[in-house]
Structure 1
Amino acid sequence: MSLASYACDPGQTRGRRYPQTPAPTRTEYQRDRDRIVHSTAFRRLVYKTQVFLNHEGDLFRTRMTHSLEVAQLGRSIARSLQLNEDLVEAIALAHDLGHTPFGHAGQDALNECMRDSGGFEHNLQSLRVVDQLEERYPAFDGLNLTFETREGILKHCSQANAQALEAIEPHGVAQRFLTHTQPSLEAQLCNLADEIAYNAHDIDDGVRSGLISLTQLQAVSLFDQFRQQTLVDYPQLQEPAHGRRLLYESIRRMLSAQVYDVIAATQAALDEAQPADVSAVRVLPALVQFGPSMRAQSKQLKAFLLQQLYRHPQVIHTTNQARQVVRDLFTVYLARPQEMPERYQWRLQKTHPLDPANALARTVADYIAGMTDRFALREHQRLTGQTLLKEANL
């Protein structure tokens, strides 16, 4: 398929931090995708969770299944808009590599632990994983990905961290946070595909867990219109025994409607703005978007999930325990760094480029952030003698 003029062309990439001979059978973005899929951090995503923790059930989403869903949605939209599907896939598969164990609870706890040592941002950590922490190649640290993939991975960044990154890599992936410009359309697309994916699968996981119901979801217009349409087409699904089929079909239709809406709204924005190339995209407002009605409905759905699922007492109970695990691990490793593997102790001998004064704390954060849920629980039990989250709470 031919690319639009404003899509990222792998032949025109801004390159890698360490120059390498092009691959004979793959484009630069395909090469990025393959490096990500084969990375250690990507494999760990299968045991890192979203809302529900790893011990609570085998069928709830993990960071890996979420990343695959984002990649699938992103590629479908990219194809219709003539954007670079391979770049979208690479960004989608890598965007959560820096997430901690225990979902957002672990991230919040680690950020709290690092409050006096530069904080913790999972997007910045994802970039750190692919730039420094992966150890696969003899000539350099990290995966040595292209600028465009790295730019898409760094979805958010504080001003302080952007300035620190810019000092190390002038005119690099953090510059746009200082100049208030946009990333590529492929990166913008991954941001929105991420939102579409987690809203849909959190409905699925929430209903599966029993914490939210189809009855409650009737208050959410974005979902309920497709539930009603499904029942008109398949009235037999009103039977309680078919509740799962009704849920899946409603979500499927909701996802399709969102995908078509993004394609239509983005194409309209592109037709109006007429960007000539990728450089023109960067100085325009964000162009990948929902239409106004879908944006409002998506916002309502997010508010519903926040109140009814993410703040559900049972979810709060488990996430509070998860935060305690992370806090305890941080405290122990900070006091006894010899408890970490030898390679992390070796890293303490190297000056940390972003905050050399906090090398120990940052190394501890790197170690904890890389853990899976179950490894973190085992380490916590080994180091503290306590057994938390030993049984499913749902």
Structure 2
Amino acid sequence: MNIRILLEKRERDTLSAYACRSEQSAGRRVEEEPCSVRTSFQHDRDRILHCKSFRRLKYKTQVFLSPEGDHYRTRLTHTLEVSQIARTVARALALNEDLTEAIALGHDLGHTPFGHAGERVLDLLVPGGFRHVRQSLRVVDVLEKEGAGLNLTAEVRDGILRHSKGRGPLLGGPAGSLAATLEGQIVRLADVIAYVNHDLDDAMRAALVLPGEVPAWIVATLGVSHSRRINTMVRDMIQWSLAADGSAVGLSPAVVEALSALRDWLFEHVYQARTVHEDFVKGSRILRELFGYFVENPDRLEIHGGHRLAGDIPEVSVADFIAGMTDRFAINLYHQIFLPRPWKAL
């Protein structure tokens, strides 16, 4: 019995007319025999979940650099929260939950150590610039599995590439900026819903901001607690999308305004706060000096765990290596290369 065929029939029978069905996928970059027990999107999800880059997210900064507290978010817990939010919305809209989950789990695989500070450093140093969305796609296409990549479906790759909006508008955007599937568009909104809520929660845990400092009108619109804000935004996305007959994904104007304002408030009071910024400056210096060292000494790259793919210039190979580092690996490697070791007598 071919379980995949039964699952594909279940998708045909139960999913919305606007859902992306796995049997209608545009396919993989390299054709391969389909799995007999999983749909193509389930297979993609599993490949991402078991890859090395996913495991390294555990030790990559979300906001607080290399946090020692057990309850601060990392890039991995952020990814899991995005996945949970996105899956809830996809299920409510009868969209493809497996596709949604695969995109969510893979969306930050190419993120640098030290959060967006690391991304900004590489963007200045790499010819042609550096963006973590492009790097995430590069991870799944060519860097994982010793250069073979994960060979994901076109729909998952598209969702990964188009998940980020930076500080741009939450809805809409330039032509081609949105994912081709509604599932990918859900992840795009789930990403910002997740990070504004958990970053605020972590900032309060660190006493960086106090609950009463968040503008009252934002609290009145979104909610006073982490769980209430999540509930408000998820319900709003579901209700707005259902009102659009399920053919679009979005948020109500009131929630978009409050969410955008909260995001901007966090940039001013958390991400650019002196204590957080000082750590990011230090992290940036570490990555900048490591980058310069390996560009000047490309023969040292593989000794320390990097690789150079055929046809890549040294700067790209070094960027691949640095972007894949965890915070603690980058710090330890910096110590090893640049700081003297105490002399030990024989």
Q: Taking structure 2 as the reference length, what is the TM-score of the superposition?
A: 0.87
Give 1 or 2: higher helix fraction: 1
SS at match of 2:19: coil
1:306 aligns with 267
Residue 230 (structure 2) aligned to one of 234, 242, 255: 255
For 1:190, the aligned partner's letter is V
RMSD: 2.4
* Contact 1:222–1:254, Cα closer than 8 Å, also in 2: no
**Separation in structure 2 between the aligned mates of residue 95 and residue 61 of structure 1, nearest angstrom:** 16
1:1-394 correspondence runs (5 A) = 2-114=14-126, 117-135=127-145, 141-155=148-162, 182-217=179-214, 219-224=215-220, 250-270=225-245, 287-341=248-302, 347=308, 350-352=310-312, 359-385=313-339
Q: For the residues of structure 2 that align with 1:157 and 1:178, how far apart are their CA atoms?
A: 14
Q: Secondary structure at the match of 2:244?
A: helix
Residue identity matched to 1:313: R
Q: Any idea what the Cα deviations from partners look like across 1:91-145, whole Å, max 9, x if unmatched?
A: 000000000000011111111111xx11111000000000000016xxx710000
1:265 deviates by 1.2
Q: 1:181 & 1:191 partners in 2: Cα distance?
A: 8
User: What 5-or-longer segments of structure 2 have no aligned partner?
Assistant: 1-9, 166-172, 342-346
Identical residues among aligned pairs (%):
43
Residue 312 of structure 1 aligns to which amino acid in structure 2? Answer: A
Please state how far the C-alpha of 1:73 moved relative to its aligned partner. Answer: 0.4
Q: Which amino acid aligns with 2:271?
A: Y
Secondary structure at the counterpart of residue 294 of structure 1: helix
One-letter amino acid of the structure 1 residue matched with residue 151 of structure 2: N
CA-to-aligned-CA distance 1:202-259 (integer Å, 9 cap, x gap): 1110001110111212x2433356666xxxxxxxxxxxxxxxxxxxxx2111111100
Q: 1:225/1:15 Cα in 2 relative to 1: closer, same or farther (>3 Å)?
A: closer
CA contact under 8 A between 1:223 and 1:251: conserved in structure 2?
no
Structure-2 change in CA distance of 1:220 and 1:47 (3 Å): farther
Amino acid at match of 2:131: E
Inter-CA distance 260–365: structure 2 relative to 1 (3 Å threshold): same
Whether contact under 8 Å (1:124, 1:157) holds in the other structure is no
Q: What are structure 1's unaligned runs of at least 5 residues?
A: 159-175, 229-249, 276-286, 353-358, 388-394
CA-CA distance at 1:68 after TM superposition:
0.4
Tell me which amino acid in the other structure corresponds to 2:55.
R
**Whole-angstrom distance in 2 between the partners of 1:197 and 1:8:** 24
